[in-house]
Structures are given as structure tokens and as C-alpha cells.
Amino acid sequence: AAPLLCAGLIGYRAYRMAGDARVIGLYGFGAAAHILVQIAVWQGRDVFAFTRADDEAGQSFARATGCAWAGPVEAQPPDALDAAILFAPVGDLVPLALKATRKGGQVICAGIHMSDIPSFPYRHLWQERVIRSVANLTREDGLEFLPLAAAAGVRTHVIALPLEQANAALDRLRRGAVQGALVLINPTT
């Protein structure tokens, strides 16, 4: 349940901000994205996953969990996005996501932190595109999300590691070497 209560909830809050978007791009395909794609597909939406250019395993994992397309962050998706949700804390992705988003679409930055967003041509924002951020989740998010996840039959892919391997776990996350969610287990509990 750990991935649902953390990554799932913050991801769901970002997903809710996307409203009725039919084509959604997920930038950074990890703990939150592998949960959200299952809900979005269950609701009849098309989901595209964007990963690091050399992350063929991550792209394959994204397709296996329901994404209609998966490719590198620099690529243009098969269709313009109604909404892009950025889980990767990389500010350089914001202009790329804006470029892939249709007129009137939105880019939702779902991380707790992000590197600085670089300057970009105004034409990528023009035509009523919106950039938003997610600050916190609420109890209401949980009350909506958990029954929805159950109804959609969400299956989490979890890698459990002992707490003493926390530094190695963080390194794996930084390198993008985790498919799904990584959970630390305290052996004394």
C-alpha cells in the first residue's frame, strides 16, 4: 500500500488537475506514473510516457503498464497532449512538455522540488497553455483516489529494500534504475 499512499496520492492530485484531458503525457515514468497510467487507461484516456533517451527498459515498462506510446523526453508524441504531468524534477522538461502540448493545454509540475526552469520561447506558452504546480495532497484526495484505484484494479510494481540500503536506493532513483516504486523496509518492525 505504500506506493498508493505516497506516490499514488500526489500523482492523483496532479491527475485531477488535468481535468478531462483525453491525451496525457507523463514525464518521468516511476512510482506515481505507473499507478496513474492504469487509472487513466481504465477511464479510456490515451497516455504517453516520456523517459530518458537511453531508458529502453523504462519505455518498455511504460508500454506494459498501458501507455499507448513511450519515448524519449526530446521526442514529439504521436498526438498533441491535452495535459502533461511532470514527475521528474527536471526544469528543462517544462519547455519540452509545453512544446508537446496543444493550444489551451496544461503542464502540471507534480514534484516536491524541481531544478530551475530555463528561459524558453514565448510561442511555447502562447495560445493559452498553462503551467501549474502541485503543492500538497488532501484527505479528500485519499478518499477519492483509493476507491478509484481499487475499482481500476491498480497493481503496483514494488521493489522492497532494507532501510540500511537507503543510500543505494536513492542512487538507483537518481539514475532512473527503478521500474515502479521503491520502498524501504525497517526490519525491526
Q: Could you please state the CATH topology (level 3) that the domain comprising 2-156 is classified under.
A: Rossmann fold (3.40.50)
Q: For residue range 26-52, list pLDDT tens digits in order.
A: 999 999 999 999 999 999 999 999 999
Give CA–CA dist 152/187, Å, rounded.
32
Mean pLDDT confidence for 116-142: 94
What pLDDT is recorded for position 11? 94
Give CA–CA dist 182/23, Å, rounded.
27
Residue 188 has pLDDT above 80, yes or no: no
pLDDT band with cut points at 50, 70 and 90 for residue 189: low
What pLDDT is recorded for position 97? 98
> Cα dihedral sign for 179, 36, 94, 136?
negative
Residue 60 neighbours by CB distance under 10 Å: 13
Mean pLDDT confidence for 5-19: 94
What pLDDT is recorded for position 2? 82
